[in-house]
Structure 1
Amino acid sequence: MSEQSSVLSIGLHPGAVDYTNYPNLDEVTLTARIEAGESALRAAGFDFVSCLVPTDPDAAEAKLRECAAGGVFRVAMIGAGVRMAAEHTLLFERLINVAADIAPGIRFCFNTSPETTIDALRRWV
C-alpha cells in the first residue's frame, strides 16, 4: 500500500443491516452498490482496504483490527449505515476510536451512500 493514497473503507456488512428501516433496499442491492463503489475507487486509482463489519461493537472492533493489520492508512471512510442510524452510535464511536488507535493522525471522511464514497475520499486524498 502506498502511504499517499491508502484508504480504510469501513461500513456495515450488508448481512448486518436491518432492512425494515429501508423499504426500497435489500442485501443483494446493497451488496451490488458497494461493489460498484469499490470498482469506481479502483478505477480512480485509490489504494484501499474494504472492511465490512457486523453491528456488535466488540465483533466490529475485532474485524476492523483484522482488516487493518499490516496496513498504513492515511484516511478512513466510515459509511453512512454506521453513522446515520441512532442504534449504531456506540458502534460508530468504537470504530472512530479504534481507527485513531490503529493509525494515529488518520483523517476521517464520510459518505452518504456507496455512490458518494469517491467524492468523500477526494476531499481528503
Structure 2
Amino acid sequence: MSPSILTVGLDPALVADAPSSQAAFPDLDVEVVRAGVAAERARLQELGFTVDLCLLDYGRTAEAVYRAALSAKEYDLVVIGAGIRLDPVLTPLLEVLVDATRELAPGAKLCFNVSPTTTVEAVQRWWPERRPVVTGSTPPL
C-alpha cells in the first residue's frame, strides 16, 4: 500500500479576500497557490504517495472539516500549509489543527511546507524516516 498524505491549507479562493493573508503573503495570488498545490500533488503521486487535499476556510467550519478529513482514513503524513502557519492571525487555527492531528492521527508525521511549491521537500524530510536537522551547513537566518 502506498503511503498516504493529507495536505491541509486555506482554500486559495479565499486567500485573495483575506487581509491577513494578503499581508502575510503579498506576492501570492489565487492562481500561484493553485498551480503550486497541483504541481506538488502531482509530484508526490509520481513518487508513489496517495495524496488527499483538505481546504479550509477562516471560519468555524475549519475544525469540523479537518476532523472529518482526518477521520476518513489513516494517514502516514499530514502537511500543514504555510498559509495557515505563517499568518499570525491564524495561530489559533494552527493550534487546533496540531491538536486534532495528535488526537485523531497520532501515528502521522507532521510536515510543514514554506510555500505552495515546497510540499515535496517537506515530505521528503520525514519520509520514509526523519532526516537529520543539521546537514553540516549553517542555515541562513
Residue by residue over 1:28-72, the C-alpha shift from the partner in whole angstroms, topping out at 9 and shown as x without a partner, is 22112211111111111111211111122x311111122233311
Which sections of structure 1, spanning at least 5 residues, go unmatched? none
Please give the alpha-carbon distance, in whole angstroms, between the structure 2 residues aligned to 1:81 and 1:116.
Answer: 12
Q: CA deviation at 1:118?
A: 0.5
Report SS of the residue matched to 2:8. strand
Q: Greater Rg, structure 1 or structure 2?
A: 2
Match of 1:110 in 2: 112
Q: Given the alignment of the two structures, is residue 7 of structure 1 paired with residue 5 of structure 2, yes or no?
A: yes
Q: What's the Cα RMSD here?
A: 1.7
Match of 1:44 in 2: 47
The code of the aligned residue for 2:34 comes to T
The code of the aligned residue for 1:124 comes to W
The code of the aligned residue for 1:88 comes to L
Equivalent positions of 1:1-125 (< 5 A) are 2=1, 5-17=3-15, 18=18, 20-21=22-23, 22-56=25-59, 58-125=60-127
Q: CA deviation at 1:108?
A: 0.8
Please give the alpha-carbon distance, in whole angstroms, between the structure 2 residues aligned to 1:25 and 1:80.
Answer: 12
The code of the aligned residue for 1:31 comes to R
Report SS of the residue matched to 1:69. helix
Q: From the two aligned structures, give the one with the greater helix fraction.
A: 1
Which sections of structure 2, spanning at least 5 residues, go unmatched? 128-141
Residue by residue over 1:80-109, the C-alpha shift from the partner in whole angstroms, topping out at 9 and shown as x without a partner, is 111011000001000111111111232211
Q: CA deviation at 1:23?
A: 3.4
Give the length in aligned residue pairs: 122
TM-score by length of 2: 0.78
Task: Using the aligned pairs only, state the percent identity.
Answer: 34
Asked whether the equivalents of residues 33 and 114 of structure 1 are also in contact (C-alpha less than 8 Å), the reply is: yes
